[in-house]
Amino acid sequence: MTNRTVYTIGHSTHSLEAFLGLLKAHGITAVADVRSSPRSRTGHFSQEALSTALKHEGIDYVSLGRELGARRVEPECYDGRWVDFDKVAQLPAFKAGLDRIEKGIERYRVAIMCAEKEPLDCHRTILVSRALQARGIEVRHILADGAAEDNLSTERRLLKMENMEASLFEAQGEREELVGKAYDQRGKKIAYFRPEGDTPEQQQGTLPKVSLFTMGFAGKSAEDFFSELRKAGVRRLVDVRLNNVSQLAGFTKKRDLQFFLRELAGIAYIHRPELAPTKDILNDYKKKRIDWAEYERRFNQLMEQRQPEEQLTAAEFDSACLLCSEPKAETCHRRLVAEYLARKWGNVDIQHL
């Protein structure tokens, strides 16, 4: 019987040895790279270095970023400055890329590779896997811990993530409709955003310019909070709190905030706890065991260890706002995050609201 299964994987911040170990543990014999720009600041995941390392392990490599990448050069797949995944799925080049995957799995055990650690933060799942599943291909996601998650389980997590959990009593057709809405909603949150004034062709293979805002909600009324975001032209709010169910302002609890942002301002929401301090660092500062200078030193050291710039994309942060609670950015880690990303990505304009 013809093999009808494809795997996905994110290289994240893995060492080359760990990444190769994950592939070999699942018997992968070919990697399809769907990054639009197959480069990495950790050199071993750049196209040439990676393809050489894979060949040494007897694993084939093919770059399908032009066909299946998230950052598109085709003007017709943009809705304003945002890539529309539904439009991408109709492109001849995208369909040709799917054809190559479908043909490839007849001979190889294929893993579709991109950068993000979490499958639901990546177009390899929300765009590519969804389209392959519609062709009757089974999709399994290789997670960072080595487990292989079937796409049905991934979709359950997607429903929960997008606050659309299905009832056990819902009919199959109703569940499929709900899952489709969850895919669409998630797609709008992770889609590539083209910086103002740049064409898709200019963006191909370059690191985009980024306009990044930060804001603390303490002391702000709901009216002031949402008005400031709208006035600044914020398109995505990136919550960098360790705990996003804060009691300091009722409208900033995760589910309430996600709803209000969408309904009142048309702003997408995403929580990025990997950009928050650890509990130890936070508690030491709150209990005055360390001063701000030491907090800043330890937090910057933490960011260097985590290397979030390798898992995130600059496009996700263009016209985005980093959210925390402290009213002043000077003594808040949101400033440190913005400055860290500016150092790593370059050409980042930071504005504290």
pLDDT reported for residue 206:
47
pLDDT band at 221 (very low <50, low <70, confident <90, very high): confident
pLDDT band at 176 (very low <50, low <70, confident <90, very high): confident
The gap from C-alpha 62 to its chain's centroid, in whole angstroms, comes to 22
CB neighbours of residue 221 within 10 Å: 11
Q: What is the mean pLDDT of residues 174-202?
A: 77
Give percent above pLDDT 90 in the chain.
51
> Per-residue pLDDT for 39 more than 70?
yes
pLDDT digits (tens, 9 = 90+) for 223-265: 888 888 888 888 888 989 888 765 555 666 767 788 888 888 8
Domain over 5-190 is classified CATH 1.10.3470: no
Q: What is the DSSP letter of 193?
A: B
Q: Tell which CATH classification among 3.40.33, 3.40.1010, 3.30.70, 3.40.50 matches the domain 207-352.
A: 3.40.1010
Compute the 3-state secondary structure of the chain and give helix, strand, coil in percent, each to the nearest 5. Answer: 50, 15, 35
Q: How much is the pTM?
A: 0.63
pLDDT reported for residue 207:
45
pLDDT reported for residue 211:
85
pLDDT reported for residue 334:
92
Q: How far apart are CA 271 and CA 238, in angstroms?
A: 6
pLDDT digits (tens, 9 = 90+) for 107-159: 999 999 998 889 998 999 999 999 999 999 999 999 999 999 999 999 999 99
Q: What is the mean pLDDT of residues 175-183?
A: 90
Q: How far apart are CA 237 and CA 266, in angstroms?
A: 11
Per the model's pLDDT, the better-predicted residue between 250 and 165 turns out to be 165
Q: How far apart are CA 72 and CA 157, in angstroms?
A: 27
Q: What is the mean pLDDT of residues 183-191?
A: 88
Backbone φ, ψ for residue 52 (5° rounding): -65, -45
Instruction: For the chain, give every residue range classified as CATH 3.90.190.
Output: 5-190
Identity at 302, one-letter amino acid code:
L
Map tokens 């399809």 to a residue.
32
> Per-residue pLDDT for 99 more than 70?
yes
Q: Which parts of the chain are beta strand (E)?
A: 5-10, 30-33, 60-63, 78-79, 82-83, 110-114, 138-142, 148-150, 210-216, 236-239, 268-271, 320-324, 348-352
pLDDT digits (tens, 9 = 90+) for 265-320: 888 888 888 999 999 999 999 899 999 999 999 999 999 988 888 777 777 788 89
Instruction: For the chain, give every residue range classified as CATH 3.40.1010.
Output: 207-352
Give percent above pLDDT 70 in the chain.
89
